[in-house]
Chain A
Amino acid sequence: MRSITFIVRRLLHSILVLLGLSILIFVIARVMPGNPARMAVGPRAPQEVIDRMSERMHLHEPIHVQYYYWLRDALQGDLGTSLVTRRPVVEDLKEFFPATLELTLFAGVIMGVGGILLGTVSAQHKDSWIDNALRVVSYLGVVTPSFVFAIFFLLLFGMVLGWMPTTGRLSPDVTSPPTITGLITIDSLLSGNVKAFLDALWHLTLPGVALAMGGLAQESRITRSTMSDNLTKDYIASARSLGIPEGVIMRRFLLKPSLIPTVSILGLDFAGTMGNAFLVELIFNWPGSSRYGIDTMLRKDLNAIVGVVLVLGVVFIIVNILVDIVVSLLDPRIRLSSQGGG
């Protein structure tokens, strides 16, 4: 019951944030210099066409009324037409976004699982050579931008060694599975196509790891420091004195409380991952929303820009709700404190 009230409160809060975000983006798109109607119809359109367009876009109304119309359409799944592709923005997003989602989620999994594993190894072998080596590597991981990783990986594994594919989501000779979710790995599993699944995973590896490096390093640093702090706590000493096997102490008593900060930071790091996906996708020619987003941004295609930002904002908010739920499952104190109106 308590978890449910916590989740409901969290959802309501997110809806408010999302509403605020939509206002922010809308205002940016409308307040900025340039007549949106002229941009929509092109520079050489006659005045009457522009007038008709601004009528249709409700541009003569006050901005809050414009927002009302825009929100009404957006809630019905209509984000307007893209100037670059001349198609509804929602259609474009449906086509391009799954590839981005697949890449960022894959990177998120690497960040979480890899970071926790490396952090645990570091904490268990604190101050040994493994720990020191891992710490240097994670420092480099935190400070190196992901597009630099992407270029180095592309160069080393893709081109010099030639081990990994450097473009696209599937090899040309592999038939792509029927589109169900748009995530090729999941679609191929659903349709039982193991070959396509492995091939898609193989294509995901380089861009995914390049994208995950920063977060991976961050997660492993945080896991290491919380775990090594918790290792010195009394309850661990008392568990040891009771003769509980070290493996059980590690898994049951130490890992769970130590994961709380890691998981919380994972949610925040996901923002960086989604931003960086834009750059990594460009480098690996990944057919996701990045190329589309950048093209539309360079050509001031406002409807499409608003669409891309909004979808990314929604995904980020959903991921953070999930993270909060996981954290609340790990840490009963958070569930309880949300009861007290805090």
Chain B
Amino acid sequence: MAVQTKSLSAPKSKTRERLGRSWYKFSRNTMSIVGLGFVLLVTFLAVFAPLVAPYPKHASKFVDFANASTPPGPRYLLGTDVIGRDILSRIFFGFRFSLLMGLVVLALVVPPGVTLGLIAGYYQGTWIDTAIMRITDIFLAVPPLILALSICSVLTPNLFNAMIAVSLMWWPWYTRLVYGLASTLRNEFFVKSAETMGASKFHIIFKEILPNCISPIFTKMSLDMAWVILLGASLSFVGLGVQPPRPGLGTMVAGGSDYLPEQWWISVFPALAIVVVVVGFNLLGDGLRDMFAAEEV
């Protein structure tokens, strides 16, 4: 792991060589590549949704009763919903909300979660550790979806508040992960020697301990993208996330579930789209974990 910090100051060619080696390790597993492919595809479709979607207008308020509930066919590849909007186009735009949800939540959650974990781990055995970790226990004592639902419910239901709600209950997982790492790292020689040299607590926590926690955090983030997106879709499913007419994937599944089984395509395809996103980030996360594990050796 120390290699990582050193390489920052090393010449460019070395960095490239290291990246090449990581890529080699990552790419040896076919499933990791499949995962990366899914993630890149979904990201591409989300970013360029207005260009690649066959009917970009169908992503919001749009009504075309003449073509309502059309089954999948050449004109509408995945069919249309009960008011005639193209499901495929709406799924592409739905990816935007999913990715946005994942990115924003992780950006809000990782810094405080990691910092608290580092502090609790470094001060293991003191009251600081007890206070932080007991609060973490409380957040972990309720099913995440339920807590997110109840926080969402007291706010106005929309995408932004869904992000806030999920963030409020997601940080403890990072605290717990980093706590475990930091409480062992604090006894390592490089931390002890930094302490002997009189380095500040800030330096020890963020410059000595944190760089050694990066790969597990990174792996967890990639896996969590999947779970956060899933939680976002679940919130939208019950009506507390993305609000119609905006095309949240969960919102679309819920909207279509009233028309099962005759008009199955309205909810089945958005449901499959959720699975694609979740599988993609999961495989990518597994691949990263294996890659980091191989680098340790």
- Give A contacts to B, CB under 8 Å: 16-18, 20-21, 24-25, 28-29, 32-34, 142-145, 147-148, 151-152, 154-155, 159-160, 271-276, 278-279, 282-283, 293-294, 296-298, 300, 302, 305-306, 308-309, 312-313, 316-317
Contact = CB atoms under 8 A, between A and B. Distances in A.
Contacts of A144: 275, 278
Interface residues of B, number: 42
Given A17-B137, A282-B238, A160 B145 contact: no
B155 A145 contact: no
A21 B135 CA distance: 9
Nearest to B280: A143
Contact of A20 (B134, B226, B260): B134
B141 A317 contact: yes
Contacts of A32: 154-155
Interface in B260-280: 260-261, 264, 267-268, 271-272, 274-275, 278-279
Interface string B132-146: 001101110111111
Contact of B282 (A142, A296, A297): A142
A308 B257 CA distance: 25
Contact of B145 (A18, A33, A278): A278
A316 B142 contact: yes
Interface of B: 134-135, 137-139, 141-147, 149-155, 157, 226, 230, 233-234, 237-240, 253, 257, 260-261, 264, 267-268, 271-272, 274-275, 278-279, 282
B260 A271 contact: no
A305 B153 contact: yes
Contact of B237 (A142, A279, A302): A279
Contact of A21 (B142, B157, B230, B261): B142
Contacts of B237: 147, 279, 282
B142 A309 contact: yes
Nearest to A282: B238
Contacts of A142: 282
Given A298-B157, A305-B153, A148 B274 contact: yes
A59 to B, nearest CB: 16
A151 B257 contact: yes
A167 B236 CA distance: 23
A29 to B, nearest CB: 7
B143 A272 contact: yes
Given A145-B230, A309-B147, A16 B141 contact: no
A317 B143 CA distance: 10
